[in-house]
Structure 1
């Protein structure tokens, strides 16, 4: 007996978060026929990370902005799995060679520190940012 196809749908909220806005822009840049495959691949990649540790996709999603580097993602993963990163680092190195390198001259602007973050997303972004040395 075969398993029927399952339709998955969700909303991106570009006005709500920068990560959603970037994902929306990336999908718009793809040909219409490639969007479904890209969305499916992104979701499956997130589920693979979630199987390893349920926090990973959420942390990476909060970290995601136009300045996110593969080194930051490696550091995040190694902070969760400090003793077992060999396979993950090898896979991320393959991704690094397959993608274009970010412009090294582009400086990352840091948000001014505030005592009271506006919402939980801001707290998560701040905490994720604290994982990485500047």
Structure 2
């Protein structure tokens, strides 16, 4: 895309790294990026803030006030949860699907000798695939990693 076809808009933002810890962190992120990537980095940061603002107009302001070198993901989760209590709740449809697959896997009787069915035989229609069991396990593990702190 050449400059004649581009309808890009340039905006200027002032950062105060000597006064605000968050500004210092942002400036470090930008400066650590390769020179050609800095515009993309700044755009990604801006769009992320806009996405949060679309969910709740106060979120970017609350996180910006909290943000410094020691801010953790858990800290950010707590701020988001304070503004949007259901933000980190499980998706009911996904959870129903996972539990139905887990229940089907637990209800399967073991094959002779206690081993699983032969690998070359196709799974029954109600039987979850190995991929589905791995997906359910990954979701369970992710849920355990980011459990509710309350």
**TM bucket by the smaller chain?**
0.5 to 0.7
CA distance in 1: counterparts of 2:89 and 2:41, whole angstroms? 26
Q: Which runs of 5+ in 1 are unaligned?
A: 88-96, 98-131
Residues 35-50 of structure 1: matches in 2 within 5 Å?
35-50=38-53
Please provide the CA RMSD for this pair.
Answer: 2.5
Distance in 2, matches of 1:57 and 1:49, equals 6
Alignment of 1:8-47 (within 5 A): 8-47=11-50
Query: TM-score, structure 2 length as denominator?
Result: 0.53
TM-score, with length taken from structure 1: 0.59
Structure with more relative contact order (C-alpha pairs < 8 Å, separation 6 or more): 1
Name which of 7, 32, 56 aligns with 1:4: 7
CA shift, 1:85, in A, is 3.0
Unaligned runs of 5+ in 2: 91-141, 143-148
Residue correspondences, number: 89
1:55 aligns to 2:58 (yes or no):
yes
Higher CA-based Rg: 2
Asked whether the equivalents of residues 21 and 68 of structure 2 are also in contact (C-alpha less than 8 Å), the reply is yes
Shift, 1:56, TM fit: 0.3
